[in-house]
Amino acid sequence: MKTMDTEIKLKPGHLEIIGETIAKFELFEHGWNPYSRFLDIDKVDLILRKRINFKVFYREIQVKYGKLHKCNQPWEKDIFDYTSWRQFSKDEFKSEIYSDDFFVIFILAFETGYDKDMFIFPKKVFNDLIDNAISINTKSKQDRKLYISRQINTKKWYVRKNGCGSKNHDLKQNCTEVTEYYRNFTLLSDNNLKNKEL
């Protein structure tokens, strides 16, 4: 007989809700008021609101939740200790409807629970990561498998590029470092971004 804990872990929809709930707490603690969308339109899970000097600013957020797995491949274990992966369509975030106010938040968690592993990616950065991620062929189209991996004995994180594998695992050539996006809440308030005011 399956326990409730096992059933929850096996349902991706439940994991997405968990990811959104974690993101809400994290964003609230960093000064944003998060609102859930009534309908999931244009991949927007949350709308953030913040008042600064009598002006109100908004951000649109897509939340992804991923499990962190221990690296088991011999070539992986020399470089990374934990990794997570998600499949994306190559053109998933290329639409012009995703403005500079759109961000992808990645929540990563171990089997034992969430340990503050969170990434905040601007739309353009995330597009580039998907473009260079590992190609996989499906029946109808070419998708990407995006691996986020933690370098062993460090706090550095990398996304593996297309071509990374057992014979190609040079960090500089076959991976993109994404450590700067790890818990980087200042990106949401960056003055260089175009702010939507109400």
CATH number, position 149? 3.40.1350.10
**d(Cα 143, Cα 131) in Å, to the nearest integer?**
10
Residues of the chain with pLDDT below 70 are 1-14, 40, 95-98, 138-141, 166-168, 190-198
Q: Is residue 161 assigned to a domain? A: yes
Mean pLDDT of the chain: 83
Range of the domain at 118: 4-189
Q: Is residue 127 assigned to a domain? A: yes
Number of domains in the chain: 1
What's the pLDDT tens digit per position in 42-55?
788 999 999 888 88
Residue 96 DSSP class: T
Quote the pTM value: 0.84
CB–CB of 26/118 below 8 Å?
A: yes
Q: Is residue 195 assigned to a domain? A: no
